[in-house]
Amino acid sequence: MSRWSDSMRMIVSSSRPEACLMGFNSTPVFILTWWSLTKIGCIPAADFGFLVLLRHRVEAQGTWEHLSSAEYRDSYALGALGDTIYLLGGQMKQKNQYLITNSVERWSLQGGPWHSAAPLPIPLAYHSVVRRKNRLYVLGGRTPQVMD
């Protein structure tokens, strides 16, 4: 049985930390990683990007609507302000290696593509984001390590 914890309008599953539920003005948006969807057989791997945003449509007999997908990255953090979701930092695969990035992407529930936002001051992975008084704060994380 999955236990869910509610934190600042974001609900995260303790048994499936790669999935979360965000509420935007009574509109639930379920966020899943590519891994969790392909692992349970919901979608073929090539159908979506790594991060998948789905909306539950009660008026459409409880169906799920695909909203958007983001490019492959892991160890990222997600935050929300208003009707905008922010995807911050993480690791991106480039030329058979993983690079920690300072990239910030944003997506609006109004639709459309993901847009670049101001980058983080330093590349970060394995970090957290919290919202306080209409601002996002990035906490902790791992920076790239240089091996001599």
pLDDT tens sequence across 41-51: 444 444 434 66
Q: What DSSP state is assigned to residue 70?
A: E
Q: What is the pLDDT of residue 82?
A: 82
* pLDDT value at residue 55: 66
Task: Quickly list DSSP for 94-118.
Answer: ETTEEEE---EEEEETT-S--EE-P
Q: Read off the pLDDT of each residue in 75-96 and give the average, rounded to a whole number.
A: 84
CATH assignment of 4-139, among 2.120.10.80, 3.40.1550.10, 3.40.225.10, 1.10.3720.10: 2.120.10.80
Average pLDDT over residues 57-63: 65
Contact 21, 30 (CB under 8 A): yes
Residue 91 near residue 72 (C-beta atoms within 8 A): no
Per-residue pLDDT, averaged over 96-117, amounts to 88
pLDDT of 84 reads: 85
DSSP-assigned letter for residue 120: P
Domain range summary for the chain, segments of one domain joined by +? 4-139
pLDDT at 130 over 70: yes
